């Protein structure tokens, strides 16, 4: 299992823990509200909303919470109008490319916080487009590998429009075009498989190897600092830290 994929697994477990404390639910709700405000409350005709709901479901967000967020987005309240989407790009320690996606009601505050985090941990914020070319946006559905036949899983996923499947340790990662994410998840679940998570992700085209433990710590401290920001929705990076080093750092 690559260090980068291992990080994805750690992120999901951390996200599940954050959800229990309510912090992640607030971020997920914000994404749903804005998507519903911008594209309407019907997921069938609103891809952004569809994907925001898929991600919320992955972290066991209650349906009532999802429905309330949609209602806020399509209502006359100021909740959605207050937020705007902003994306920051930069480089972390060891030349690691980092993309930060945020929803904010105060662009100046968020920009200042993100810039401070990069500077604090030995990175630098770049201009728009500085690192985006190093990533592809994909739908990613994760299924536990225990007792699962890879060929059967792929056949089910392909019915929903999946492009590829890859085993990473104890999970399978099924990838698709962003617009096929919900259909792939539904096809997989319809075939009787259990989905661990389903969300849009930015997949690095190439990774930067970070094998030194002290350097890995600097990279992870930057990532964690960014993820802890209330305005930040997602952080993507192209590091590849050896699994044993990553586990030591994450521990």
Do residues 112 and 175 share a domain? no
Asked if residue 114 and residue 228 are part of one domain, the reply reads: yes
Q: Are residues 119 and 8 in the same domain?
A: no
Residue 92 domain flag: yes
Model-level pTM? Answer: 0.85
Give the model confidence (pLDDT) of 118-158 as tens digits. Answer: 999 999 999 999 999 999 999 999 998 999 999 999 999 99
What is the bridge-based pairing of β-strands 232-237 and 171-176?
unpaired
Which domain CATH number covers 17? Answer: 1.10.10.200
Q: Do 119 and 57 share a structural domain?
A: no
- Domain presence at residue 21: yes
Residue 79: inside a domain, yes or no?
no
Give the list of residues 6+ apart from residue 29 with CB closer than 8 angstroms, or none.
56, 61, 65, 68, 69, 72
Per-residue pLDDT, averaged over 185-212, amounts to 92
> Which of 52, 74, 96 corresponds to the end of one domain?
74
- Structure confidence at residue 84 (pLDDT): 86
- pLDDT tens digits, one per residue of 38-54: 899 999 899 899 999 99
Using the predicted structure, report yes or no on whether residue 1 has a pLDDT greater than 50: no
Are residues 191 and 23 in contact, defined by beta-carbon separation less than 8 angstroms?
no
State the pLDDT at residue 86.
94
How far is it, in rounded angstroms, from Cα 212 to Cα 242?
Answer: 9
Whether residues 180 and 95 share a domain: the answer is no
Residues 193 and 166 in one domain: yes
Quick one: tokens of 139? Answer: 């739908």
74, 98, 114 — which closes off a domain?
74
Query: Which residues fall within 8 angstroms of residue 83, CB to CB, at 6 or more apart?
Result: 30, 33, 34, 103, 104, 105
Task: Give residue 17's pLDDT.
Answer: 65
- Helix axis angle, 23-39 to 3-20, nearest 10°: 100
Report the domain count for the chain.
3
CA distance readout (Å), 184 to 36, 83, 98, 114, 148:
22, 30, 28, 34, 17
Identify the CATH number of the domain in which residue 152 sits.
Answer: 3.30.70.980
Range of the domain at 36: 3-74
Last-in-domain residue among 25, 40, 74:
74
User: In the β-sheet with 84-91, what is the strand arrangement from edge to edge?
Assistant: 124-126, 84-91, 97-104, 232-237
Kindly give, in sequence order, each residue whose CB lies less than 8 Å from that of residue 214, ignoring residues fewer than 6 positions away.
none
Residue 163 lies in a domain: yes
Same domain, 157 and 245: no
């Amino acid at each position: 299992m690559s260090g980068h994929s291992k990080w994805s697994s750690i992120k999901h477990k951390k996200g599940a823990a954050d959800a229990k404390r309510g912090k992640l639910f607030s971020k997920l709700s914000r994404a749903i509200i804005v998507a519903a405000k911008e594209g309407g409350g019907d997921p069938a005709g609103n891809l952004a909303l569809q994907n925001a709901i898929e991600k919320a479901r992955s972290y066991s967000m209650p349906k009532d919470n999802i429905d309330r967020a949609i209602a806020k987005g399509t209502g006359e309240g100021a909740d959605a109008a207050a937020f705007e989407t902003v994306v920051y790009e930069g480089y972390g320690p060891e030349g690691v490319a980092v993309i930060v996606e945020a929803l904010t009601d105060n662009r100046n505050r968020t920009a200042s916080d993100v810039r401070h985090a990069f500077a604090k941990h030995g990175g630098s914020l770049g201009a728009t487009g500085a690192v985006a070319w190093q990533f592809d946006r994909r739908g990613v559905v994760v299924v536990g590998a225990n007792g699962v036949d890879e060929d059967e899983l792929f056949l089910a996923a392909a019915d929903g429009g999946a492009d590829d499947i890859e085993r990473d340790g104890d999970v399978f990662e099924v990838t698709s075009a962003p617009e096929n994410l919900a259909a792939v998840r539904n096809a997989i679940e319809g075939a009787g498989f259990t989905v661990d998570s389903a969300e849009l992700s930015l997949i690095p085209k190439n990774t930067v190897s970070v094998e030194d433990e002290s350097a890995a710590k600097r990279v992870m401290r930057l990532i964690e600092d960014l993820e802890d920001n209330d305005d930040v929705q997602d952080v993507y990076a192209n590091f590849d830290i050896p699994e044993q080093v990553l586990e030591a750092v994450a521990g």
